Amino acid sequence: MADAMPLLRLAERVTICTVEGATVAGPTGEQMARALKLNGIVAETITLKPAKRGAGETILTKAGELGCDLIIKGAYTQSRLRQMIFGGTTRHILANAKLPVLMAH
């Protein structure tokens, strides 16, 4: 989020999206929204039920529904072994996004 702060300040709308069962250790969507608010950025938080194809598909579908023009996402928060065996949200978004994605690891 810190890397994206200059872009977030320019945004007309910021939506923090979490997918049930797909979160990792770190701040919740509500905690992120509070941190953004301290920086003068108003953000909406939403929690989604995962699609059959997983969290990546859920996020991309919702981004399309919302008319997003950029996805900002932390990348590769799971272990490499887990990513290799099961794939993951980051891999799915990188392979299937039809809009720009800013990722930081």
In tens, the pLDDT along 72-96 reads: 987 655 555 555 544 578 888 889 9
This prediction has a pTM of 0.81
CA–CA gap between residue 5 and residue 36 (Å, rounded): 9
CA-nearest of 39, 53, 49, 51 to 17 is 49
Report the alpha-carbon distance of residue 74 to residue 37 in Å, rounded: 19
List pLDDT tens digits, range 8-65: 999 999 999 988 876 666 788 899 999 999 999 999 999 998 878 788 899 999 999 9
Measure CA of the first residue to CA of the last residue in the chain; give whole Å: 11
